[in-house]
A and B are shown apart, each in its own frame.
Chain A
Amino acid sequence: DGGITQSPKYLFRKEGQNVTLSCEQNLNHDAMYWYRQDPGQGLRLIYYSQIVNDFQKGDIAEGYSVSREKKESFPLTVTSAQKNPTAFYLCASSSQGLGNQPQHFGDGTRLSIL
């Protein structure tokens, strides 16, 4: 979807370094999500946010942090506490219409360790 932009497309992290992945959406969606995808595996939820200034931990939040200061933006920081950060990271958003609405995904960021 052109409405969700993730950057950068590729990112390299040195040991002990924090890195931040950007996710911006212009779909006016209230909810935003971060997923981690490892090779040959499904999507695991890291964090999600239902509204500005609020977010909840997903299934694998340890070693990650997020903020939601603006409706359009939901950056993810991979901290040095995350010992195995190499993965494909996907950001998604959804509206809060009548009933459940599908999630729209960005193109992803591929993170590797130097």
Chain B
Amino acid sequence: GENVEQHPSTLSVQEGDSAVIKCTYSDSASNYFPWYKQELGKRPQLIIDIRSNVGEKKDQRIAVTLNKTAKHFSLHITETQPEDSAVYFCAAQKGGSASKIIFGSGTRLSIRP
């Protein structure tokens, strides 16, 4: 069935260093790949997304890359700051907006001062 695998499950980086989270999806028909950030006890919030017709997208310190051939996509956070500490979820969706979205299992990112 449809599946999204996310690695690593936990990640600790020194403040100022970069963090990379990787996801692999199984359904080649997936065409939309959002990333969500969830702080402890709060709602997930969209931080960046990418569509299948684009290979890379950047927004300030955050970037996402997509390799459709290999069916994997990655989140890159540069110059990490304490407020980047949270759980990050990748997701994949195919078809229209109302189709179901498959989430990865999450990565707990900790930024060491």
Contacts and interface: CB of A to CB of B under 8 A. Distances in A.
B105 to A, nearest CB: 4
Q: Is the interface of A mostly helix, strand, loop or mixed?
A: loop
Nearest to B35: A102
Contact of B97 (A43, A44, A56, A95): A95
Interface string A12-28: 00000000000000000
Interface of A: 1, 30-31, 33, 35, 40-45, 48, 50-51, 56, 58, 90, 94-97, 99-108
A41 B106 contact: yes
A64 B51 CA distance: 33
Contacts of A56: 100
Contacts of B25: none
Given A95-B97, A100-B51, A100-B97, A105 B43 contact: yes
A86 B46 CA distance: 26
A68 to B, nearest CB: 12
Interface residues of B, number: 24
The 8 closest A-B pairs by CB, nearest first: A100-B32, A31-B98, A50-B98, A105-B43, A42-B105, A101-B97, A43-B103, A102-B46
Q: Is the interface of B mostly helix, strand, loop or mixed?
A: strand
Contacts of A104: 46
A5 to B, nearest CB: 11
Given A42-B89, A96-B96, A100-B96, 6 more contacts: A35-B103, A90-B44, A100-B32, A100-B95, A105-B44, A105-B45
Contacts of A94: 97-98
A94 B101 CA distance: 11
B97 A41 contact: no
Contacts of B98: 30-31, 48, 50-51, 94, 96
A42 B101 contact: no
A102 B108 CA distance: 22
Contacts of B42: 107-108
A90 B44 CA distance: 9
Contacts of B108: 40
